[in-house]
Each structure stands twice: as C-alpha cells, then as structure tokens.
Amino acid sequence: MKIHSQAVHAGDRKKAGQHIPIATPIYTATSFFYDSMEKLDRVFGQEEPGFAYSRYENPTAAALEELMCELEQGHTALACASGMAAIHMAVMTALADRRKSVVAANAMYGATVSLLMNILEPAGIQVRFADICDLDTLRAAVKDTQPGCILIETISNPLLRVGAIDRIAEIAREAGAALVVDNTFGTPLIARPLELGAHFAVHSVTKYLAGHGDVLGGVVVTDEGHGQSLRALSRTLGPVLGPFEAYLTMRGIKTFPLRMERQCANACRVASWLAQHPKVERVYFPGDAAHPDSATIRRLFPQNLCGGVVSFEIRGAGREEVFRLMDSLKMIVRATSVGDVHTMMLYPVMSSHREISPKHRERMGIRDNLVRLSAGIEAPEDIIADLEQALG
C-alpha cells in the first residue's frame, strides 16, 4: 500500500469480543486479567501476546506502534510520552551493548544538544559533534572516537541541513555503530531512515504526525536487531505514551500525508516570496536550488516534498526587532512547535535553542536575527499577506 493508505488503515480494526471497532478504542485500564493464572503468567513472561500492565504494553498504544512500524517500515516501535523521551530511549538502546560514545550532528534541536551535554556526558557517555554533511569530516570523527551511536536529524532544526542518510549509515555500519535519525521534520512521507540503512527512526509525534497542537508524544521505530532491547528498557523505565494521546495521534496520522503535502507546498511558496523581500537577509529552505545539500536532497527526497519549515534572517535585526515583528503577526501563531495545521513562528534564540550558550549557538550558525516558520495548511496568500504586513 502507498503511504496515504497505510496512514488510514494500519493498526486499526482489532477484534474486541464479538465485534470489531472501526477506530481503535481508548483503553484506559492500567492492568488486564485473564480467565486463568497460567495464561496471565505466559503473557507476563512474553511467551504469548497479550496485555498485562500498561507500563509494558497498552492496546491503544500498541495500535499506534503498529501503524508507525508500517509507515517507517520498521520491526518494533515504542510510543513515548514526548519526542525527547523517544530520543533518549533510542540512544540508550543503541548504546546498550556498544561503546558508550556518541557522534552527533553539530547542528541539532537545542533540547537534544542539552540531553547529550547535560545528561549523557556527565553520566560518562562521551559526546562529540561533527558536521554530518561533510562525510570526510564525519569519517574522521568516527574513526577517532569509535562511537557506539551516531545521532542525526533528517532535516536539521532550525537551519535545515540534510545529511546523506544512506552514506552516513554505511559509515556507522563500518564502525559498528547504530545510526539514530530524528525524522520529525522529514516524516515518513519524505524519508524513511530505516530503508536508507538507519537502525532507529525517531519522531516527536507532537509535530506533523498528530498535527493539531493537542498531543505531546514521541515514537521510536527500530529494526529487528534492536527491538527486544528497546522493549526491555521500556518495561523498566516506563516512558510510555498515554492511551488518549495515542488515540489522538492515530487520528491525526490518518490525514498527515495530505496535510504534509500542503505544508510542503506552502513552505515552498513562502520561501520563494521571502527570498525577494528587501528586509530578509537570508532564507533557509531545503527546496532552494542553492541549498548546500541540494544534491543529497534531490537524490533522497521525493520531488516537491522538501519539508514544511522555512527559517530566515531579518536584515539588521536583534531581539527587539524580532519581537516587534512577531508581535505584529495577526494570523500566524507565535508558538514553540512545528507541524500544526496553523502556521507558526518561533524565535530559536528564545525557545528551541535557549539553553544553548551564545558561543555554541554562534558555532551552530544560529544568529540573533533568525526566526523559524512552520507552514500550516492555510491559503498561502494569507500566510504571505501576514508576513508582508508584519515585515512592513
């Protein structure tokens, strides 16, 4: 099936007694019992499928996990309480039987950088950052550190760089490392990291998959070799997504390909318009023919699907000028997320990369005049009109 059909049908219509619900129900039960202790014992021991305790597995979350396995073409999935919980689970699973060392992309989401530097590194895990868009530089970093895990984003946040996942996967396998790819900005419509050789694909389902600004959650999808370790770690740590959030995520995913196609088209329109505006110094967008990773983008991404995010620098602006611009917006929502049906604008220095030191932000290329726009599904003319009146 094509992804549009998978999104609608996968995971649903499990038999429940004498009937089959067409939409997966919300199972709020924490515990489950059976007619005999022998059967409960087998379920607890994972000798046969079933549900015993919702920290281990829940029917609503399991349906979402089945759906995500279908979308990402993976073997095992774990629905988590947030995207950061999913990143943490993926990295810890990757390192479970490998050297406790990570090579990460040098431009990533701020909270991911904080996880690496403020949580994992003090716990004894070596962390090194490298330019994953320069394969020679990445190879040198991997050779030097011999990492157990390489961590990248399909489309980096917020400067929208795109690494060659398939070639990075080759480097990882040669080094015996697991490749973890945060596919939140890419989504399975644009890229399926596991098909390109990655071991883990991670999503903040808060963003494009749920897509309506009403769910906080994450998902890890992995290959067969890491599935058992992922589930075992989860049974102990319990980072699981609640059943109501799992239900909302499944409902959102049914329309995600349609929304994403519109968001990609709107982002392309907005990026082209911004590039001509005299008050805009620079536009970052993967669909730009002059993008530094354009060859990789053309090779790996479907035609006309380059993501729904546009970042741009306002000429001569600092914090005060950026705030003034954002306060002038009338339709575009000033909020800290991406992927919703409504267009949103964020100031990375204040939000997504707030915890990163100014010097580190500068090394990452995140300047004080940079804003990030997530295109929604509105009429593109209305998005552009709001930007035009705000820029003045």
Residue-level pLDDT at 184: 98
Whole-number mean pLDDT of the chain? 95
Stretch 124-151: mean pLDDT: 97
pLDDT band at residue 97 under the 50/70/90 scheme = very high
Active site annotation includes 182? yes
Range 3-253 classified under CATH 3.30.450.20: no
Active-site residue 207, yes or no? yes
207, 231, 259, 372: the active-site residue: 207
Catalytic residue among 109, 208, 284, 347: 109
Distance CA 11, CA 251 (A): 11
Mean pLDDT calculated for residue range 337-360: 84
Partnered with residue 202 across adjacent β-strands are 182, 220
Per domain, the residue ranges of the chain are 3-253, 256-391
**Contact present, 24 and 65 (Cβ < 8 Å):** no
- Please tell us whether the domain made up of 256-391 is placed in CATH 3.90.1150.10: yes
DSSP states along 301-352: SPTT---SEEEEEETT--HHHHHHHHHT-SSSEE-S----SS-EEE-TTTTT
User: Sorting pLDDT into bands at 50, 70 and 90, what band is 365?
Assistant: confident
pLDDT-above-90 percentage for the chain: 88
Q: Indicate whether 14 pLDDT > 70.
A: yes
Q: Please give the average per-residue pLDDT across 157-172, as a whole number.
A: 97
pLDDT value, residue 353: 73
Closest by Cα among 182, 238, 195, 188 to 61: 238
pLDDT, tens digit (0-9, with 9 covering 90-100), for 185-213: 999 999 999 999 999 999 999 999 999 99
| pLDDT above 70 (res 65) | yes
pLDDT at 361 over 80: no
pLDDT in tens, 250-287: 999 999 999 999 999 999 999 999 999 999 999 999 99
Known active-site residue 109:
yes
Distance CA 58, CA 62 (A): 6
Which of 27, 161, 182, 368 is labelled catalytic? Answer: 182
- Considering only residues 63 and 368, tell me which one the structure prediction assigns the higher pLDDT: 63
User: Which residue is it, tokens 């519109």?
Assistant: 262
Q: Do domains 3-253 and 256-391 have the same CATH topology?
A: no
The pair of three-digit structure tokens given for residue 363, joined into one six-digit string: 């090394």
Q: pLDDT tens digits for 214-247?
A: 999 999 999 999 999 999 999 999 999 999 999 9
Among the listed residues 42, 55, 254, 269, the single catalytic one is 55
pLDDT score at 16:
66
